[in-house]
Amino acid sequence: MSNPILLYTTQLIAIMSLILLAIGYLKAQPHATSARVFTLTALFAVLYIIDGMSEVHVDSMFKLNLARWELLIHTAVPAIPGLFMIYSFLEFQENRRFPVALGVLFAIQIVLEATLVLLDGGNGVALELLNTVLDILQLLFVGFAIFWTLNGWRADLVEDRRALRWMIISLQGALIFFVVVVENFLVVFGSIDPVEAQFVLISAIAILVTAMLVATMQFNYVSLSKVIRKVAVLTEESSTESSAEFDIDRFNRQFRDAKLYREAGLTIASLAKKLNLPEYRLRAFIHKTLGYRNFNAMLHQYRIEDACEELADPESKTVPVLTIALTVGYQSITPFNNAFREIMGVTPSEYRKRKLSGD
């Protein structure tokens, strides 16, 4: 059995690290929705640790009575995977709307978790099945978070932030996935002792969160992007001829005038090949020279500008908006509408109406 003092100390370290990490995120991005969601996730993780201090196997010296907070804790803690999913979406899926179906599933999960708390003591096949479904939902949410991380990571053009976010979100995803599997499957089915499971989980949380905290504080000194840049320098030496004299005029001739942005599914890697440039140099050019945060933001800008010309052209007034969206490179109407509203402040239909009416 684990030493109660060691377990209690580990819990305190994990709690303090989570709080400091949340404060750091808020301080770095006080107005960002993603930072607020991260903070809420961290606070719910604190509740998870505190809840562990009330278990029956906890030494009486350190045991807490949380009966009055049971509804809050047991509803908030299962929401962590869903919040992590939302956080990852906000970080990596810019100019897109959060999927309605996933939002509904998350809301249903919270309601059902609260219902289970109120029905405490109930049993039966239906409740067991419901618990299993809720556990699977949590894994599904973590899976979407990891997918969005992998899908959006390469679009970020700021190397330091890209490497840092990748490291932190990977650790978060692995940790949440590990906790969900151990708590909801291994312990439930008796594959591991609950006391030992709690100690292992709390230790993992303390170690990983502390590592994230240290990495965040020291990232300017120990930066993964330094390694990336060193590799880039070596690549540049062998690519000077193909990348010489690359400037905005040349980029516009090759990218804008040739309408390369209209290619559906265009990536920064495929664009680099078309422009005969090393990918690292194209990333730096788009971020430092053109001023875009990521490749997707630049792609949206060029596509929407093209769409605006089509929408304002009287000769194209009978062309459906969907056709224009497909022409400029979008594969469906929803991302086009979202990007258009984000950049222009109005819908494509409203923009066309104003331009054609002379407003």
Ranges 95-109, 199-213, 280-294: which has the least confidence: 199-213
Q: What is the pLDDT of residue 245?
A: 53
CA distance 163 to 161: 6
Q: Which of 94-108, 165-179, 297-311 shows the lowest per-residue confidence on average (mean pLDDT)?
A: 165-179
Query: Which CATH number describes the domain made up of 239-357?
Result: 1.10.10.60
Q: What is the DSSP string of 223-260?
A: -HHHHHHHHHHHHHHT-HHHHTT--HHHHIIIIITTTG
Structural domain boundaries in the chain? 4-224, 239-357
Which tens digits make up the pLDDT trace of 91-143?
777 667 889 999 999 999 999 999 888 877 556 777 888 888 998 999 899 88
User: What stretches of 154-193 show up as alpha helix (H) in DSSP?
Assistant: 159-181
Residue 145 burial (CB count, 10 A): 26
Amino acid occupying residue 7: L
Q: Model's pTM, two decimal places?
A: 0.64
Predicted pLDDT of residue 31? 79
Helices 295-312 and 348-357 pack at an angle, to 10 degrees, of 40
